[in-house]
Amino acid sequence: MSGPIPIRNVYVMLAYAFSTIQSSGQDHFEAEKFEHLHELFAAILIDGVSQQVKRGLQHGYVNRNEELATVRGRIDVTRTATQRTLTRGRLVCEHDEYEPDTVHNRALKAVMTLLIRHGAVSRSRRVELRNFLPYFTEVRLIDPAAIQWNTLTYHRGISGYRLLLGVCELVARGLLQGQASGDAMLSAWLTDEKMHKLYERFLLNYFKVHHPELKPAASKIPWDKDEARSPKDKHLPAMNTDLVLRAAGRTLIVDAKYYGNNLQVNRFGKETVISENLYQILSYVRNEETRSGSTVGGWLLNARTGAPSQPDLDVTIHGNRILANTLDLNLPWEKLRAQLENIVTEFWPAPVTAP
C-alpha cells in the first residue's frame, strides 16, 4: 500500500466494520492523536469497558457441578454414589449460576491482561486497564491463545462487546504471532488479506449507516443460466458481491480490492486494469441486469497504493458503465468520506429518498 493508514482512519474503519460508528466515544477518538496502534486499541478498550462497567458486565448462566450441603438444581446421582459424598453429608449437584464468567468477558479479561503485559502502551493507559481488572474478579483468566474468536456470537443485549472483542482479536492475534511487541508485530499480522476483509466490511457498513435508501447489501447474484439445458451446475462458482446499491431503477455493484498492485503490465509495458477483476465485475453486471431488468453499473474500488500509476477507468461496455479507480485511505477522514460520497453522486445525481 502507499504507507501506514492514519490511525484515526483505522479506528473509523474498525468502528464501521463492527457496526459501532454511532457509539458515544467516536468524537473523542477522532480528535486524539495516537502514535501507535496499541495506544489506539488500549484507548478503545478503556472507553468501552468503562461503559460496560457502568451499565453492568454481561452475565450469563454457567453450568456448575459441585458438592453441596443442600440440594440445588439437579442431584447428580451417579457422581454422588461413586464419590461417596453422602458419607460426608454432601450431595453432588448440577445447577446453573447467573454470573459474569462468560466467554465474552473471559476474552476481554485475557486480552486486557495481555496488552498490559506485552503491548506497546503508555504507563497511564496500562494503569487504566489494570484498574478495570477488579471488576473481572469473578471472571476466569484464560490463555488468549485458546480463545475461539469465530465462535463468539452477539445479540442486541451485548452489542457493545462487538467492537471491543474485534479489537481484542486483532491485539491477541498480533501479539501471539511471536515474541516482539508493539506495532511491528501487530502490523505483521494485519496482512493485505486481513485488511481486505476489513476494507470490505467498512465499505458495506459505511453505506448502511449513511445511505440506507440505497439498500446496501453484500448480495449473491444468480447466474443467468438456461435451467432446462444446465443439468450439471453444482460446480458453477457463486457470485458473491462486496456491495450492491439499488435505488430509482439503478443498481451499482461495487467490488472492493485491497492489493499491493492495482494495475497489471503486459509484455509491451502497457499498464491496464487487472484482467480477472474486470472480467469478474462485467460478469456480475451482465447477470444482474438480465435478472433485475434495471440499469446496472460496476465499480472496481481499489485501495490506493504508492505506485505512480493508479486505475482510472470509466467506460461503457454493452451499455453498462464500468469504473475502476481508487479510494485513498491515507487522506484525512473528511476527504476520504468525500470520495465515498462521490460514488453515490456519480450514479444518482439527484438525491434518493428512502421508500
- What pTM did the predictor assign? 0.74
Domain boundary among 79, 99, 119: 99
Residues 287 and 313 in one domain: yes
Which residues make Cβ contacts (< 8 Å) with residue 289, sequence separation at least 6? 251, 295, 296, 320
Sign of the C-alpha dihedral computed for residues 223, 196, 304 and 22 taken in this order: positive
Question: Which of 144-148, 170-174, 197-201, 271-275 shows the lowest per-residue confidence on average (mean pLDDT)?
Answer: 170-174
Say what percent of the chain tops pLDDT 90. 50
Q: Is residue 225 domain-shared with residue 176, that is, in the same domain?
A: no
Note whether 337 and 283 are same-domain residues: yes
In degrees, rounded to 5, the angle at the alpha carbon of residue 93 between the alpha carbons of residues 88 and 106 is 120
339 lies in some domain: yes
107 within a domain of the structure (yes/no): yes
Mean pLDDT of 145-170: 87
69 occurs within a structural domain: yes
Banded model confidence at residue 111, pLDDT cuts 50, 70, 90: very high
Confidence of residue 178 (pLDDT cuts 50, 70, 90): low
Give the model's pLDDT for residue 4: 57
- Whether residues 161 and 231 share a domain: the answer is no
- Least confident window among 16-20, 21-25, 183-187, 238-242: 21-25
pLDDT value of position 88: 77
More confident residue, 283 or 306: 283
Final residue in a domain of this structure, among 80, 99, 118: 99
Residue 86 has pLDDT above 80, yes or no: no
Tens-place pLDDT, residues 43-60? 889 988 998 999 899 988
Among 76, 99, 122, the domain boundary falls at 99
Please tell me whether residues 186 and 267 are part of one structural domain.
no
Do 320 and 343 have their domain in common?
yes
299 and 343 in contact (C-beta within 8 Å)?
A: yes
Assigned C-alpha cell, 329: 485511505
- pLDDT tens-place string over residues 6-46: 767 777 888 788 766 544 445 555 545 666 778 888 888 99
Q: Which domain holds residue 85?
A: 60-99
Residue 42 CA to residue 167 CA, distance in Å, equals 9
Identify whether residues 228 and 183 lie together within a single domain. Answer: no
Is the pLDDT assigned to residue 336 strictly greater than 70?
Answer: yes
Does residue 208 fall inside a structural domain? no
Q: Please state the domain count of the chain.
A: 3
> What is the mean predicted confidence (pLDDT) over 199-227?
93
Tell me, yes or no, whether 300 lies in a domain: yes
Same domain, 112 and 253: no
Residue 298 scores a pLDDT above 50: yes
pLDDT at 236 over 50: yes
Please tell me the predicted confidence (pLDDT) of residue 181.
47
Residues 296 and 261 in one domain: yes
Q: Is the pLDDT of residue 159 over 90?
A: no
Q: Is residue 201 part of a domain?
A: no
- Model confidence at 256, pLDDT cuts 50, 70, 90, reads very high
Statement to judge: residues 23 and 136 lie in one domain: yes
> Is position 48 within any domain?
yes
Mean pLDDT of 171-193: 62
Per this entry, what is the length of the chain? Answer: 355
Q: Which has the minimum average pLDDT: 50-64, 97-111, 206-220, 264-278?
A: 50-64
Same domain, 34 and 142: yes
Same domain, 141 and 278: no
Q: Is residue 306 part of a domain?
A: yes
What sign for the dihedral angle of Cα 188, 189, 194, 198? negative
Average pLDDT over residues 82-106: 83
Statement: residue 291 has pLDDT above 60: yes
- Residue 98's DSSP bridge partners are 61
- Average pLDDT of every residue of the chain: 85
Q: What is the pLDDT of residue 35?
A: 67
Query: With bands split at pLDDT 50, 70 and 90, how would you rate the model's confidence at 188?
Result: low
CB–CB of 200/259 below 8 Å?
no
pLDDT band at 194 (very low <50, low <70, confident <90, very high): confident
